């Protein structure tokens, strides 16, 4: 046991994160017992308990006697309702995000209420904005010299945005300077989405961009019961508001790819 704990203690933050994501997948399969996980991952039960506690704090699992189970999937609020939730914070985040954009940039704007506010901040700026969001399109289509390009795809009413393989394929034609991604939930493990199509498209957005930003208000940080994950395995800046706690920030920073920018609303 002593040698086992010593080996675990030398694990890097990225190795710990990878193990916790693998543990989460096992829990989703129904294999959430501490002893079973300890044997499978060849670490001590105490290490598994620590991993489970961190996953529970991030809202991804619920601890049970002797192990853990996954959280039930949360219901996604309608788009019009989300537009009015945390509106002052979202507007402050949009201003901070817009400051990252330079004249002549080609940027990607994800769908969502916060990225819609970013579009408002960018109206009339000489840039090319590629988007999947109907709100960003309606904000920018007549804002010359801003050029707006819609990726296309299948329209999802719940998010007022385009999704699916057509959007993913079209995205590969661009090499953007910056991408601004939204999320229903963010943990050190990645971005959490209610549908597989959303998770896949966000992954492609992050892959093609030179500089990536995740723009989310503090209520999305380290809390998610949503089933689909976009891993954060390349450098990304999370822009969030000043309601975020130090504990939440520290949890995000266990992923070495993540930087955090905190904005005052």
Chain segment 214-234, per-residue pLDDT in tens: 999 998 998 666 778 899 999
HSE, side-chain direction, 13 A CA sphere, residue 17: 19
Beta bridge partners of residue 215, listed in sequence order: 239
**List of residues 6+ apart from 119 with CB closer than 8 A:** 109, 129, 131, 133, 135, 136, 139, 140
Name the residue with higher pLDDT: 209 or 55.
209
Q: What is the pLDDT of residues 18-71, one digit of tens each?
A: 888 888 888 877 788 899 999 999 999 999 999 888 877 766 677 777 777 765
Q: Is the pLDDT of residue 98 over 70?
A: yes
What is the reported pLDDT for 84? 55
Q: Is the pLDDT of residue 175 over 70?
A: yes
Looking at the domain 2-70, which fold is it?
Arc Repressor Mutant, subunit A (1.10.10)
Listed range (1-15, 20-34, 115-129, 204-218) with the worst mean pLDDT: 1-15
Average pLDDT over residues 70-86: 57
Beta-strand relationship, 211-215 and 236-241: parallel
Domain boundaries, the chain: 2-70, 79-263
Exposed (0-12), middle (13-18) or buried (19+): which is 190, by Cβ within 10 Å?
Answer: buried
Global model pTM greater than 0.75:
no
CA distance readout (Å), 45 to 17, 54, 215, 219? 17, 14, 36, 32
In CATH terms, 79-263 corresponds, of 3.90.79.10, 3.40.50.1360, 3.30.230.10, 3.10.420.10, to 3.40.50.1360
CA distance readout (Å), 265 to 86, 121, 249? 10, 15, 17
What is the reported pLDDT for 1? 33
Q: What sign has the CA pseudo-torsion 233, 237, 240, 243?
A: positive
The conformation of residue 38, written as its DSSP 8-state character, comes to H
If pLDDT is split at 50, 70 and 90, which confidence band does 160 have? confident
Average pLDDT over residues 236-258: 94
Residue 21 sits at φ, ψ, to 5 deg, of -70, -35
**Could you check whether 2-70 and 79-263 share the same CATH topology?**
no
């Amino acid at each position: 046991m002593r040698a086992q704990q010593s080996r675990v203690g030398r694990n890097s933050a990225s190795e710990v994160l990878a193990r916790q994501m693998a543990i989460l997948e096992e829990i989703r399969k129904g294999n959430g017992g501490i002893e079973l996980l300890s044997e499978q991952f060849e670490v001590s039960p105490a290490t598994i308990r620590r991993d489970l506690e961190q996953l529970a704090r991030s809202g991804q699992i619920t601890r049970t006697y002797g192990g853990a189970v996954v959280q039930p999937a949360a219901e996604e609020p309608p788009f019009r309702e989300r537009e009015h939730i945390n509106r002052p914070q979202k507007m402050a985040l949009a201003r901070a995000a817009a400051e990252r954009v330079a004249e002549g940039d080609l940027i990607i704007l994800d769908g969502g209420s916060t990225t819609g506010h970013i579009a408002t901040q960018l109206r009339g700026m000489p840039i090319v904005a590629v988007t999947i969001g109907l709100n960003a399109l309606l904000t920018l289509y007549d804002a010359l010299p801003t050029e707006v390009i819609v990726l296309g795809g299948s329209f999802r009413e719940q998010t007022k945005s385009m999704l699916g393989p057509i959007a993913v394929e079209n995205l590969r034609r661009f090499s953007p300077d910056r991408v601004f991604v939204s999320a229903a939930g963010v943990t050190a493990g990645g971005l959490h989405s209610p549908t597989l199509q959303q998770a896949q498209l966000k992954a492609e957005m992050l892959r093609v961009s030179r500089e990536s930003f995740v723009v989310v208000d503090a209520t999305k940080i380290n809390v998610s019961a949503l089933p689909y994950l976009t891993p954060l395995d390349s450098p990304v800046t999370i822009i969030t508001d000043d309601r975020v706690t130090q504990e939440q920030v520290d949890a995000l920073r266990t992923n070495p790819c993540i930087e955090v920018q905190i904005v005052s609303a």
